[in-house]
Structure 1
Amino acid sequence: MLVTLKGSWALIFGVSSGMGRAAARALAAEGCHVIGVHFDMADGQEAADELAAELRELGVEAHFFNRNVAARETRAELVPAIKELTGGVGTRVVLHSVAFGSLVPFLPTEGAPKGVTAKQMAMTLDVMAHSLVYWTQDLLAEGLLPRGGKVWSLTSSGGTRVLSSYGAVSAAKAALEAHSRQLAVELAPHGVAVNAIRAGTTLTPALRKIPGSAEVAERARALNPHDRLTTTEDVAEAIVLLSSTDSSWITGNVIGVDGGEAIVA
């Protein structure tokens, strides 16, 4: 049975751009209040401020924090703030849309004479994968993951494929999928569903940073049965639809939102 998201709360990591931004808009359009965490310099902060104002015009609350999502200090600061903002009811939707990692080949090349370093590898996995586990631990400990809640992580086909300089991020995506499965099992008794969304090739700021991304996008566009790329709005629509139920029976999956790209690529 579908339920309304009106008056509920969403916590979005990576809210200022890409899929996090689109999801915030889509959830707010359904009456869902939004707490956003992002990590930006001046231009990104301005974009986040504009988005927060846009969401408030829809009649919902929007509270954004420019913080490092992977820092323990951020969780220590924001978990109590989330509890206060939501009146203790917690977040109906948690979206982990974090794209911040090292795009460096594993082995030395002319452009990267040392190859990926231990620090770069550890940072990429900590930010893009492990942070989901730590946030889930802290939210659950404070009673902020209510029954019927949905935790979403965002993965990509790069988790199982090799792209130029994408090795550390690919490892992070694979770990994120594994974390999502484990959390799904451990949160099942609490009635909370956890799934990873595998979006199709989408023109986000994160994609454009990948070497050779233009060629990757053009190839995906040519192969997609819909004759176009996935959009951030496609992903946001899926998140809203699948979050509009109290059931936790759809859990532990990697859900493709790609217009059929993966089955023909």
Structure 2
Amino acid sequence: MFNLQGKVALVTGSSRGIGKAIALRFAENGVNMVVNYIRHRRDAEETAALIEERGARCLVVKANVANDEDVASMFELIDKEYGRLDFLVSNAASGVLKPVLELTSRHWNWAMDINARALLTLAQHAVPLMRDGGKIMAVSSLGSVRAVENYTAVGASKAALESLVRHLAVELGPIGIKVNTISAGAVDTEALKKFPNRTQILDTALARTPLGVLTTPEDVADVALFLCSDLAKMIHGQTIVVDGGYSIRA
């Protein structure tokens, strides 16, 4: 069903959280990995060890995805190590949680660079290594279409990310590269711990989710795996929401 043996994937921000779950799910299905991190080296090395335990190869690369030189260097290492890339998952994210009137241009640019512009740079470097076609995915959030308290800069950057995915899909589809977004609901990761109202967010999400359970990193990873398979060959340019039905509630 998932014949991915020997494929190569880069998952940005894969030392922890959703990115780690995706990397491990890929490795379990025979995909050789590139684990990218910027701050948490020990976590990245632990993720790499888990990948290798699953029988896959792993290259660990420290790179700031908002820095063009870092991205270029990372892809040079990928080309040297593997000579190809089949799957790119733009997962690394950051941002500042502030009210609209307290946002500065620095806050805005930081969120846009890491959460949206990074995908453009990553795709520009990835496509030449996807000689036989490939899959590009971006991880977004419901804040792209919903107003979340203090989430303005991040939410706007995620909306930009989803728009970029659609444009990439139109341009890259003819050369055999499929591009999609995975939009996750409230997932209890290290990133969510930065929210001062984390408990309220999780409690509200649980109460409003028809399935009665919260989305996990592994749930998101399962969708990423599916999108990399031939079963998803006609899913292109879409935003796949993984939230247990939370977003359909009025």
Write the mapping of 1:142-181 to structure 2, written as runs, cut at 5 A.
143-181=128-166
**Matched-pair contact (CA < 8 Å) for 1:164–1:211:** no
**Matched-pair contact (CA < 8 Å) for 1:164–1:212:** no
Cα distance in 2 between the residues matched to 1:99 and 1:139: 19
Q: Looking at secondary structure, tell me which structure has more helix per residue.
A: 2
Cα distance in 1 between the residues matched to 2:16 and 2:249: 28
Tell whether 2:47 aligns with 1:51. Answer: yes
Runs ≥4 in structure 1, deviation > 6 angstroms? none
**Matched-pair contact (CA < 8 Å) for 2:15–2:37:** yes
Cα distance in 2 between the residues matched to 1:259 and 1:164: 22
TM-score w.r.t. the length of structure 1 is 0.90
Cα 1:165/1:156, change in 2 over 3 Å: same
Tell whether 2:227 aligns with 1:233. Answer: no
3-state DSSP of counterpart to 1:215: helix
2:110 is aligned to: 123
Shift of 1:147: 3.7
**Matched-pair contact (CA < 8 Å) for 2:111–2:157:** yes
**Matched-pair contact (CA < 8 Å) for 2:34–2:58:** yes
Amino acid at match of 1:221: L
Match of 1:259 among 220, 244, 247: 244
TM-score w.r.t. the length of structure 2 is 0.95
Greater CA deviation, 237-246 or 157-166? Answer: 237-246
Write the mapping of 1:84-99 to structure 2, written as runs, cut at 5 A.
84-87=80-83, 90-99=84-93
3-state DSSP of counterpart to 2:77: helix
Write the mapping of 1:1-265 to structure 2, written as runs, cut at 5 A.
2-40=1-39, 44-87=40-83, 90-107=84-101, 115-140=102-127, 143-245=128-230, 248-264=233-249
Cα distance in 2 between the residues matched to 1:68 and 1:239: 22
3-state DSSP of counterpart to 2:247: helix
Q: Which runs of 5+ in 1 are unaligned?
A: 108-114
**Matched-pair contact (CA < 8 Å) for 1:200–1:257:** yes
Q: Report how many residues are paired.
A: 250
**Matched-pair contact (CA < 8 Å) for 1:165–1:210:** no
Shift of 1:92: 1.5
Shift of 1:62: 0.8
3-state DSSP of counterpart to 1:151: strand
Identity %: 36
**Matched-pair contact (CA < 8 Å) for 2:3–2:229:** yes
Q: Which runs of 5+ in 2 are unaligned?
A: none
Cα 1:247/1:204, change in 2 over 3 Å: closer
